[in-house]
A and B are shown apart, each in its own frame.
Chain A
Amino acid sequence: QKEVEQDPGPLSVPEGAIVSLNCTYSNSAFQYFMWYRQYSRKGPELLMYTYSSGNKEDGRFTAQVDKSSKYISLFIRDSQPSDSATYLCARSGAGSYQLTFGKGTKLSVIP
């Protein structure tokens, strides 16, 4: 079982929709969780970073961690065409700093 599982999509939504992106992980020793956004042919850009369970909000983005069910989510409100990208979830911890990534979900927001 891969340590971080992520539905690769693709996911296509109309502009203004609420987007829900999800990942599951298998090792409960993981402590830190991140969401990165990667535009085509670019490096990943850090969106959200969280340590504990619960919600963290930043503008239109909300990251949610449920450690009891080993589930992490990213919600995008009022989605825009500029949000069209691949979204990568990642975790670190368990005694190491390198990140383990999900395979990414490709999102298209249609005007």
Chain B
Amino acid sequence: EAGVTQSPTHLIKTRGQQATLRCSPISGHTSVYWYQQALGLGLQFLLWYDEGEERNRGNFPPRFSGRQFPNYSSELNVNALELEDSALYLCASSSTSGGDQETQYFGPGTRLLVL
């Protein structure tokens, strides 16, 4: 069974630009979560999508946004990039059936560097 996939693996942008990151969940999973892992800050929750809807967002500014497509894949957009947005962006997926909602499986991440 294929795991969570993310693209691109690396992304280099300059301040003020926009970045788009993509995630494909495990087949059969309907929930997608985005996390930011910045140096020294640990993993922080960004966004949660389920069945195409945004269910919750973490303590991040509105320039962090995203969406979930009908096939449950997801996109994270970061507008007006700032230097401190440089981080590893991780996507996770989980199933919302069978009482297994809390078990999240992570992709390899997209490493974003803002210059």
Which residues on A are within 8 Å of B, measured CB to CB? 31-32, 34, 36, 41-46, 49, 88, 90, 92-93, 96-104
How many pairs, one residue from A and one from B, have CB atoms within 8 Å of each other in the complex? 59
A7 to chain B, nearest CB (A): 13
| Contact partners of B4 in chain A: CB under 8 A | 43
Q: Does residue B42 face the partner (Cβ distance < 8 Å to A)?
A: yes
Give the docked Cα–Cα distance between A31 and B111 (Å). Answer: 31
Instruction: Check B109 for interface membership: any CB of A closer than 8 A.
Output: yes
- Consensus secondary structure, chain B interface: strand
Q: Are A93 and B102 in contact (CB under 8 A)?
A: yes
Answer yes or no: B114 CB below 8 A from chain A CBs. no
Contact A44 B48, CB 8 Å, known A32-B102, A98-B56, A99-B104: no
Given A43-B109, A98-B33, A98-B48: A92 and B43 within 8 A (CB)?
no
Q: In the complex the two chains form, what is the Cα distance from A99 to B33 in whole Å?
A: 9
Q: B46-87, CB under 8 A of A: which get 1 and which 0?
A: 001000000110100000000000000000000000000000
